[in-house]
Structure 1
Amino acid sequence: MPQEPLHIATDFPSASLEEWRRLVDKDLKGKPFASLQSTLEGGLSLQPLYTQQDATASPPPEPPGVAPYRRGTHPLGLTEGGWMVCQEYTGPDVALTAEAIRVDLERGTQGVWLCLGRAHGIHAAQADAVERLLAHVPLDRTPVHLEPEADVLSPAAFFLQAAQRARVPHEALRGCLGIDPLGALARRGSLPRGIEATLTEAAPLVMSLRKLAPSLRALLVSTRAYADAGATSVHELAWAIATGVEYLRGLERAGVPPEEAARSVQFALSAGGQFFPEIAKLRAARLLWSKAVAASGGSPEAQAMRLHARTASTTKTQRDPWVNILRATAESFAAVVAGADSVSTSPFDEALGIPDEGARRLARNTQLILRDESSLNRVADPGGGSYYLEQLTREMARAAWTELRRIEALGGMTRALLQGEIGRVLAETRSARDKAVRTRRLPIVGVSEFPHLGEAPVHRPPRPPAPPPGPGKAGPEIPPLRPTRVAEAFESLRDASDRYLGTQGVRPRAFMASLGTVAEHTTRSTWIANVLASGGIETREHHGFPSADAAATLFAETGTPLAVISGPDALYPEWVPALCAALKANGARVVAVAGRPGEHEAAFRAAGVDLFLYAGADLFALLSSLHQQLGAA
């Protein structure tokens, strides 16, 4: 019997936005509608609903392949072969890194990104070292990207020398030579040649490559220093465009027209943990760069941004590092949906030391699965047409443009760095983000949320200490931007717990006095056990006490100085004062109560309660004070 087709769109009456608002206001029961909005870093707000009205408020975006390239620089998007799987390498040893490159190229990696430097990269400071590093790389068909940490000009010469010795013609070379003086200044805090002198010296190379090797870009705009130091998406985006503008101006003063200079720049941005905002950031980057190049007189072809995206380092954890696989997958997914030309997925163990082959394999295969099994390369613009994403892209672009104009008013990106303005903004951003982490408004799975105290540790060889920098010419100097990870605060508590375990044979422990029935206290007791575990404190739960004295007697048998009272609020006025007094009489140095005390705080503190653990409190500070009391600090 044939089935009747369903006409869902016509069978149900359409609902208007006004009707939706009336239902929402009813469900809010007096709360303001603004309570449904979410605030992002950088001052952006997310609405609970986006409609076609939001999309029609602005002109529709151009199709893919058309300036200003919000939807990508290729008319068919990534469907003509997909994005480039480009692995990053930071291991210090040249021979081991060369072998890792060989293995990865044989097993699916298409491009190579070499981070060179004493502190955070490969120790390849001489021409022969760069040649050995590239020994297994077919330079005629493999894009190679350099990202020097300090000396930004010599590696370019070393690479071209290696290509010449391998008899690879210049026109076959692809990638980027990584000349990024502002990026080096931000990371290392010094630049011996200076910004202007570096760009002047690079100008002849830029013009030469435009003729002899048009697929090999000379300049790099990398936001690694800013993203690793805690920049918001808006700041990272704005500072990237400001840096690109600075390079266009410097090269123009050295005789390179903006048209040629723009075609010589490669951008590299990070993809962080906020999925949709990161997509919007990368899409907005293309839009803003197109506008900036157009203002400089560049043609539509010169306005097309070459964009590399890397998974963020700030989001990765040392504790429960396996969760990093999920983080890197989501970040890679965001980069691909945003239309990045190449993507680097970081190994899950990068925060622990030098990644091993298994971690590199997982990172490589993450992208291969996204491409070959999830078929993300079969859609020209996966994010195009989404009311929410299009609106968020526009708002991200406007906010970044405002920040770009502020940097320009200060005199440009160079002056903003030298005057300490970038460092000041990053300090404010880190402070706000740290507050969100400490209160668990920014949860970290495996660290501040759902920690596993019994996890098997993952060990990796640490990076050797960086050798002291050699003498160089005088140049600009600033305090280098310090890389940071959002999990560092809570991980420091876990480290202290491990040290305590090593010396005492047990972890810091807490006696949990859970009041009422299991059904009454299980939600709060589970929450508080999770909080204590995030600080490396083990819990032993007890419940069903006939009296406060019975609970205190059981506590005395545990030998721990910390007791936590947990249960329904209704039982607290009756139980907390008597139970706290009994616990203190039986040796408790610290008594904590789970939940907000409300109007009973004064009475509870008078009875001997030392602190209260509740959602929204500075849990890191409270856990740190418990460490002090337990002798685990």
Structure 2
Amino acid sequence: MEPSGELALAAEFPAPDREQWLDLVRGVLRKSGADFGSLITTTYDDIDVQPLYTADDRAPDAGFPGLAPFTRAGRPQGSVDGWDVRQQHRVADRDAVMADLENGVTSLWLKGLDPASYDDVLADVYLDLAPVVVDAGADFHRAGHAMLRVWDQRPVLPGEVRGNVGADPLGVQARTGRPADLAALTDLLGKAREFPALRVVVVDGLPFHEAGGSDAQELGASLAAGVAYLRHLTDAGLGVADAVRLLEFRYAATADQFLTIAKFRAARRLWARVTEVAGAPAPQLQHAVTSPAMMTRRDPWVNMLRTTVACFGAGLGGADAVTVLPFDAAIGLSDDFSRRIARNTQSLLLEESKLAGVIDPAGGSWYVERLTDDLARAAWAWFREIEAAGGLPKAFDLVADRIAATWEKRRANLADRSDAITGVSEFPNLAEPPVVRAPHPEEPGGGLPRVRYAQDFEALRDAADAAPERPRVFLATLGPVAAHTARATFAANLFQAGGIETPNAGATKTVEDVVERFRESGARIACLCGSEKSYAELAGPVARALRDAGAERILLAGKESGSPFDAEIDEHVFLGCPALHVLEHTFEALVTPTSSGVQP
């Protein structure tokens, strides 16, 4: 102990600098044949995420919570009193609404319900305590007036009504391609003014996210939509401050926790700049929704982990309200169990993990501050490009084209499993019984597409399940278990991602053993799996013997090496290979009738 009673931590060690660290890392990488660039990841907004951040990685001062630019929080107290736990309801079920409110939910999101059902669904709800957000799509005008009547007829003081009428004509245009009905929005303003704390407009970023867009594209497009609404509302006679108060923003939260944290921080900073220029600086009210695009239909239980991480990121990022979609949301209408898990995910993070106990806990991290700044700059540049093209809705074609390009890039990374999806493209379980739910009401189309990252692999799984007999690829494991386990596991994981069974030869000693087990399997395609040593000794003879035994195609787990046996191989499968392409044409070969005319 020092005389002062303080510990001098690391005082006896020299202070390292960044170059020393880089030299050590490069030395390690050289031994494995890699370079420093392999440690840098690039986002879909072309932001390079470095392996190390230090005080030299400068970012603008984030300010203080509750003060412009509101990067750290929209309110001085942040979310230390907890964010709003908002549950989505897609069925007019009064009991489900009350079960949610009695078990941790603090506000309701009514999506796609018949406006005529609002009064009954909310009959037992204390509307001065539970805010209601309406989401009726193209029917927002009728739905908004229906909800305004409910509030008006209940014994609730006008100043105590919270929630959002849910008008989003630009979002409707993004979803359907139909021109935005801004006149209908104007008509809602008259009655809504009777409720001073009520919001009228939802600026929904989900249509841009669900079309495959990047984080900056979602932020920039939603910022352009928010500006378009401000112009319209002020043209309708509202002051800027009053117009700003009517808007609420909705963003997707993904399983990339740091990008999610940065997204919500950057969004507040961007909107603060817009409102500052407009003459009425104000924080952005944010509603986070766990990403529908990341949800899977196969192995849907993993969605619980995805939504937990997404909720964690949104909470740490300072979202005002969070909706955790139930794990079966991509399959159909959620049941009581999945809805309970969704709300308890938030309760655990709030009540047990105390996630809201600190204001902006990620603030001050060199990585998070720099990522927030990089994302804000990318989104601002995209917003300015939209504005230069005439703003929304004029620039929708530009927005659609740019998002489509990002989706194709993302889709390619999903196809070769650079972007892995646990339970779908990685570690699938063919024996898993499907989760069955009643279907969702049909979603409107005609505008931006709705995509899910797992959709291409799941389409193959569906086709394999529907085949008269499940397709199979025989794994010709060469040599003892220790020699083939790694590549056999890789190959099994790959083919099962396409719904293809993978019987294997086990530990084999002779070519005849492999051929006998291949015939017993009933497969028509074989994949050799072994070590480099076993390939050198057995790959050629085994491939020829399997071909003689009726194998129509021979694959090998490993990259082409220039060895003599490569001439015997039709295709190589390896980490980073075009996995989806391999699966698609393997599946096509397996479901094509054989030369004898017999369907496999």
Q: Same fold (TM over 0.5)?
A: yes
Supply the distance in 2 between the matched residues of 1:632 and 1:189 (Cα, whole angstroms).
40
**Greater alpha carbon shift after TM alignment, 521-530 vs 548-557:** 548-557
Give matches, 1:231-380, under 5 Å. Answer: 231-298=213-280, 300=281, 303-380=282-359
Shift of the alpha carbon at 1:613? 1.1
1:223 aligns with 2:205: yes
Please name the residue that 1:623 is paired with.
Answer: 583
Moved more, 282-291 or 29-38: 29-38
Which residue is 2:409 aligned to?
Answer: 432
User: Measured at CA, do residues 617 and 31 of structure 1 come closer, stay the same or move farther in structure 2, by a change above 3 Å?
Assistant: closer
Match of 2:433 among 456, 463, 468: 456
Give the equivalent residue in structure 2 for 1:43.
Answer: 46
Structure 1 residues 203-602: aligned runs within 5 Å: 203-205=189-191, 209=193, 212-298=194-280, 300=281, 303-417=282-396, 420-465=397-442, 479-500=446-467, 503-504=468-469, 507-600=470-563
Please name the residue that 2:597 is paired with: none
Contact 2:221 2:399 in 1 (8 A): no
The CA deviation string for residues 384-421 of structure 1, in whole angstroms up to 9 with x for no partner, is: 1111000100000000000001000100021111xx22
Deviation at 1:147, TM superposition (A): 1.7
What are the equivalent positions in structure 2 for 1:51-66 lying under 5 Å apart? 51-54=54-57, 57-66=58-67
* Structure 1: runs of 5 or more not aligned: 117-121, 470-477
Deviation at 1:454, TM superposition (A): 0.8
The letter for the 2-side match of 1:497 is: A
Gaps of at least 5 residues in structure 2 are: 594-600
* TM-score (norm: length of structure 1): 0.89
State the TM-score, normalized to the length of structure 2.
Answer: 0.94
Q: Residue type of the partner of 1:198?
A: A
Structure 2 counterparts to residues 122-137 of structure 1, below 5 A: 122=113, 124-125=114-115, 128-137=116-125
- Partners of 2:166 and 2:200 within 8 A in 1: yes
Specify the code of the residue in structure 2 equivalent to 1:295: V
1:27 partner letter = V
Distance 1:551 1:571 in 2: 13
Aligned length: 587
**CA 1:52–1:169 in structure 2 vs 1: closer, same or farther (change >3 Å)?**
same
Q: Distance in 2 between matches of 1:442 and 1:64?
A: 35
Q: Find the partner of 1:102 among 77, 83, 98.
A: 98
Could you report, residue by residue, the CA deviation over 1:9-46 in whole angstroms, capped at 9, with x for unpaired residues? 42433211121122122222275433321111111110
Once the two structures are superposed, the pairs formed by residues 116-127 of structure 1 within 5 Å of their partners are: 116=112, 122=113, 124-125=114-115
SS at match of 2:457: helix
Distance change in 2, residues 1:265/1:453 (3 Å) = same
CA distance, structure 1, for counterparts of residue 389 and residue 590 of structure 2 = 50
Q: How far off is 1:50 after superposition?
A: 0.4
Asked if structure 2 preserves the Cα contact closer than 8 Å seen for 1:497 and 1:632, the reply is no
More divergent stretch after superposition (540-549 vs 152-161):
540-549
Alignment deviations for residues 502-548 of structure 1 (CA, whole Å, 9 cap, x no partner)? x33xx222221112322222111111111111111122222444433
Percent sequence identity over matched residues?
38
Q: CA deviation at 1:107?
A: 1.1
Partner of 1:88: 88
| 1:115-150 deviation per Cα after TM superposition (whole angstroms, max 9, x unaligned) | 12xxxxx2x14xx32212222221111111112211
CA distance in 1: counterparts of 2:103 and 2:507, whole angstroms: 59
CA distance in 2, matches of 1:31, 1:432: 24
The SS at the match of 1:598 is coil
Mapped partners of 2:381, 2:142: distance in 1: 36
Q: CA deviation at 1:202?
A: 4.2
RMSD over aligned Cα, in angstroms?
2.0
3-state SS of 2:428 partner: coil
CA distance in 2, matches of 1:632, 1:295: 63
Contact 2:479 2:509 in 1 (8 A): no
Kept in 2, the 8 Å contact 1:199–1:247? The answer is: no
Residue 87 of structure 1 aligns to a residue whose secondary structure is strand
Moved more, 219-228 or 350-359: 219-228
Match among 168, 176, 179 for residue 188 of structure 1: 176
- Asked if 1:197 is matched to 2:186, the reply is no
Does the CA contact (< 8 Å) of 2:145 and 2:188 recur in 1? no
SS at match of 1:113: strand
